[in-house]
Amino acid sequence: MADVRLGIIGLGAEGGMYANFIAEGKVKNMVIGAICDNDPAKKQVAEEKYPGVPFYDNYIDMLESGDVDAVVTTVPHYLHPEMGIESLKRNIHALVEKPAGVYTKQVQELNDFAASKPELKFAIFFNQRTNPLYKKVKELIDNGEIGSIRSTNWIITTWWRPQGYYNQSEWRATWGGEGGGVLVNQAPHQIDLLQWICGMPKKVYAKVNYGYQRNIVVEDDVTAVFDYGNGATGVFVTKTHDVMGTDRLEIHGDKGKIVVDDSKKVTIKRLKQSEKEMSDSMDMSDVMKLFMGGGAGDIFTEEVLDFGNVWGEQHIAVLEDFASAIVEGTPLLAPGSDGINGVRLANAMHLSSWLGKEIEVPFDEDLFLEELNKRIAEEGKYPVRK
Amino acid sequence: MADVRLGIIGLGAEGGMYANFIAEGKVKNMVIGAICDNDPAKKQVAEEKYPGVPFYDNYIDMLESGDVDAVVTTVPHYLHPEMGIESLKRNIHALVEKPAGVYTKQVQELNDFAASKPELKFAIFFNQRTNPLYKKVKELIDNGEIGSIRSTNWIITTWWRPQGYYNQSEWRATWGGEGGGVLVNQAPHQIDLLQWICGMPKKVYAKVNYGYQRNIVVEDDVTAVFDYGNGATGVFVTKTHDVMGTDRLEIHGDKGKIVVDDSKKVTIKRLKQSEKEMSDSMDMSDVMKLFMGGGAGDIFTEEVLDFGNVWGEQHIAVLEDFASAIVEGTPLLAPGSDGINGVRLANAMHLSSWLGKEIEVPFDEDLFLEELNKRIAEEGKYPVRK
């Protein structure tokens, strides 16, 4: 089969990066079919950088042009579901940017529509799922190498953004234009990875700071507690105001522990006996021997894996995975329908902070939208959402 | 002035350890004045190990014997306030074990009584306050070296206790006999250090697991979120079922960050400019340069301090600090009145989990006691508290 002709909707920072990767021949099985942007000034940019590639200022025209087999939607988050649906409706494969949308109701519509078109590929741009480190961590968990999960803990505060970042565009960091702050823009990668690797929580409590260290109405600081429903708990901390950001994920199981530092180093401790067996067989004199005598190393083995950190490779891998699914029928690493989980989890954190209490997941989606619309209306810059 | 004659109330694991340190001459300005235990079998133990030291099976008799100038109370937590008051009443200096009590109402009584006897020394056994590492961290914070605190995060799950530990004594891990689990027995050290170094939160939310991995009615697993009232937040996680326990404290300020690993290593990052100045002056191209080009090191300096870990020294230091206060009038490192803060914080975590919501600190002390008494009554082993 011929190469996939990708239509890029939105020639901003992300769209431009993907276009460059494809134009440079870095993405197997894919060429640029067309480029679309509603900013007319982008036409010249596109013609200079990607000569001969058709340019559209309206994505529907592009979808109907016959120039593209598939699209990627690098546009504001609210538009992802609508554009995904319009593409699939015209038998165009769709790769939506993360997050899949701003609220689960709209994402569910997209998922439902995509389900009615099983012959088309529908994917989401979770480039961290192609990161060999997180693929390995998921494999370790899925294989039961640290047993049943008792707790998760991710401090991910490496998403530093100065005030100038928020001032770049009118829609940024608004309720009506973006739908939130760090939870919908920066942290969706880790929110997806966490649920992909460790499953979805059943209850969520979140303490969320809105405009804490930045002049914005949305959140720049989040601290959440998860309840996985079986006693296991989780902590998720993310911020955009920590310029010395921390990235530390710990997953504690009944047979071991995994600690990921800086998304580069994985330390795996594997207990020789399960924790329950140790608890059932040991007394305090054994404890003293273990912890006072320095003999704690004897109860587990430790393996350290170091992964490189090559910028851009994961984006290329997502594009190749999507192309390969279309051309060769391989399974998608990040099916589009998975996108709703991260949106649900982010929504749950917002809703918990708005209501000031722990909430069950799934929550009342109408209530979420009502609360979001209250904030959009107060802000007064964009129409409320339906 | 002559050496302080210490009366040791309770010749268990702790009391025996302190007696040994003193008998071995390791504690400056202090000798064993008398030993008291309500278990008659301990009399023989005391006579063999500490020949010539008077033994009492009733602490009031010891207080009135004229054999002691001061006492230490290594007895179940509920008894600390009562024994503190009875000692001070008889002009005997009091060093109470941690926690100062189980609920703030009783600790407040002790504090109020102690305040009426300012000529006596009233201290609490927070041996971690004498730990040079935590003294250093407090000094760094007090000197403003990392600026205003924006968040705290302590994962302290190194308190592993097997089921056999809980089975040692009837009163352990009961509501009526001990008043809680990891929050009142193991974690009070870190709860005190955290509030000593970073201040008291204004609001507390806690997810608490009762008898999660141990056959006990009290908590073995706690995840708490703090709100310091000025936007700063905190996370505190403690467990007794993680045999590969983590001990990691992170304090993030607007001018730097301190990370303490394993209570041994302190990493101090000091920003060259405050985070606010960086946010106000930088744009996204600077951000790309900082984080993609590997130049992040240029914005802060990093200092790493390694501290030794000598078991027992901190206990000796507390005894010496107490003796020195009595003999030489030096200020106490851990005044007894400070003990209420840790009890208040632990109570707040319990109360939040019992009510299922975030609570303000200070909370309604009568409500706490009512909720605690409900659990004591359900357990049916001990009388309710007043």
Among the partner-chain residues A155, A239, A279, the one whose CB lies closest to the CB of B163 is A279
Do B165 and A276 lie within an 8 Å CB cutoff? no
Among the partner-chain residues A162, A205, A231, the one whose CB lies closest to the CB of B282 is A162
**A152 shares a domain with A232:** yes
For residue A297, pLDDT beyond 70 = no
- Residue B286, pLDDT score: 83
Average pLDDT over residues A271-277: 97
**Which residues of chain A have a CB within 8 Å of the CB of B257?**
242, 244, 246
Residues spanned by the domain of A159: 131-307+343-379
B37: in domain: yes
CATH number at residue A359: 3.30.360.10
**A48 shares a domain with A179:** no
Among the partner-chain residues A168, A269, A356, the one whose CB lies closest to the CB of B244 is A269
**A227 shares a domain with A201:** yes
Which residue is closest to B286 within chain A, CA to CA? Answer: A162
**A352 shares a domain with A323:** no
**Which residues of chain B have a CB within 8 Å of the CB of A239?**
151
**A88 shares a domain with A43:** yes
Do B276 and A356 lie within an 8 Å CB cutoff? no
- Residue A288, pLDDT score: 79
Do A283 and B252 lie within an 8 Å CB cutoff? no
Which residue is closest to A149 within chain B, CA to CA? Answer: B242
Q: A156, A212 in Cβ contact below 8 A?
A: no
Interface of B with A in 182-211 (CB under 8 A): 205, 207, 209
Size of interface A-B (CB pairs under 8 A): 169
Tens of pLDDT along A229-259? 999 999 999 999 999 999 999 999 999 999 9
A278 touches chain B (CB under 8 A): yes
For residue A290, pLDDT beyond 80 = no
Average pLDDT over residues A349-355: 98
Interface of A with B in 153-172 (CB under 8 A): 153, 155, 157-158, 160-165, 168
B385: in domain: no
For residue A27, pLDDT beyond 80 = yes
Torsion sign, CA atoms A364, A365, A369, A370 = negative
How far, in Å, CA of A57 to CA of A66, rounded? 15
Show Cβ contacts of residue B272 under 8 Å, excluding neighbours closer than 6 positions.
Answer: B298, B299, B300, B301
pLDDT band at A296 (very low <50, low <70, confident <90, very high): low
**A218 shares a domain with A192:** yes
How far, in Å, CA of A334 to CA of A322, rounded? 9
- Residue B296, pLDDT score: 57
Strand partners, B123: B95, B335
> What is the percent of chain A with per-residue pLDDT over 70, rounded to a whole number?
97
- Residue B289, pLDDT score: 79
Strand order in the sheet with B55-56: B55-56, B30-36, B4-9, B70-73, B93-96, B122-124
Residues listed for chain A: 386
B384: in domain: no
**A359 shares a domain with A300:** yes
**B372 shares a domain with B232:** yes
Average pLDDT over residues A357-367: 97
CATH number at residue A82: 3.40.50.720
Grouped pLDDT means (10 residues each) for chain B, 386 residues: 94 94 97 96 96 97 98 96 98 97 96 98 94 96 98 97 93 96 96 98 98 98 98 98 97 98 96 97 83 70 88 87 97 96 98 98 97 98 94
For residue A223, pLDDT beyond 60 = yes
> What is the percent of chain A with per-residue pLDDT over 90, rounded to a whole number?
91
- Residue A313, pLDDT score: 81
**Which residues of chain A have a CB within 8 Å of the CB of B287?**
160-162, 165
The tokens of B375 are what?
């659990």
How far, in Å, CA of B23 to CA of B49, rounded? 9
**A241 shares a domain with A357:** yes
B96: in domain: yes
Closest CA to A249 of A310, A197, A302: A197
Among the partner-chain residues B161, B235, B243, the one whose CB lies closest to the CB of A223 is B235
**A73 shares a domain with A18:** yes
**A59 shares a domain with A182:** no
A246 touches chain B (CB under 8 A): yes
A189: in domain: yes
Tens of pLDDT along A79-121? 999 999 999 999 999 999 999 999 999 999 999 999 999 999 9
- Residue B324, pLDDT score: 98
**Which residues of chain A have a CB within 8 Å of the CB of B233?**
207, 209, 221, 223
Tens of pLDDT along B228-244? 999 999 999 999 999 99
Among the partner-chain residues B209, B233, B269, the one whose CB lies closest to the CB of A207 is B233
Tell the burial category of A138 from Cβ atoms under 10 Å away from its Cβ (0-12, 13-18, 19+): middle
- Residue A287, pLDDT score: 82
A294: in domain: yes
Minimal C-alpha gap between B257 and chain A (Å): 7
Number of domains in chain A: 2
**Which residues of chain B have a CB within 8 Å of the CB of A244?**
252, 256-257, 269, 271, 296, 299-300
B230: in domain: yes
Hey, of A213, A243, A271, which one would you mutate to test binding to chain B, going by the most B CBs within 10 A of its CB? A243
Q: Assign A227 to helix, strand or coil.
A: strand
Hey, of A278, A279, A291, which one would you mutate to test binding to chain B, going by the most B CBs within 10 A of its CB? A279
Q: B160, B131 in Cβ contact below 8 A?
A: no
> What is the percent of chain B with per-residue pLDDT over 70, rounded to a whole number?
97
How far, in Å, CA of B84 to CA of B360, rounded? 29
For residue A310, pLDDT beyond 80 = no
**B141 shares a domain with B84:** no
A384: in domain: no
Assessment of whether the complete model's pTM goes beyond 0.90: yes
Interface of B with A in 350-369 (CB under 8 A): 356-358
pLDDT band at A386 (very low <50, low <70, confident <90, very high): confident
